[in-house]
Amino acid sequence: MGRLKLLLSYNIVPQHQEEYMQFAVQVFVPTLQRIGLENQGVWHTAWGDYPNRLIIFVGEAQDVRDAMASDTWEQLESRLKGYVSDYKRRIVPFQPGFQF
């Protein structure tokens, strides 16, 4: 079936910056890695009319589907949305290199 990329883009709400960082580093990324998704990078937009954060996870197609259907993902995504605005989630076929 191949691999998929999970692309999450958003703006961090300034008043939640510290809580977001703690959540992302201590909970969000490690939990997604435990359920089979590999973190492929975190990008910060310093200039331009784009979301200021893009985080990328990669996994086998079935692992990504299973993760997205899980209660764990639902809880993580809900909590993430409490720290960010303009949240978008995309799942795309894996291609090497940067994808937006």
Query: Which of these CATH numbers, 1.10.10.10, 3.20.20.140, 3.30.70.100, 3.30.1330.10, describes 3-93?
Result: 3.30.70.100
Domain ranges of the chain: 3-93
Concatenated DSSP letters of 24-83: IIIIIHHHHHHTT-EEEEEEE--SSSS-SEEEEEEEEHHHHHHHHTSHHHHHHHHHHHTT
Q: Are 5 and 93 in contact (CB under 8 A)?
A: yes
Q: Are 30 and 57 in contact (CB under 8 A)?
A: no
pTM for the model:
0.88
Q: What is the block-wise mean pLDDT of the chain (100 residues), using blocks of 10 residues?
A: 93 96 97 94 78 92 95 97 97 73
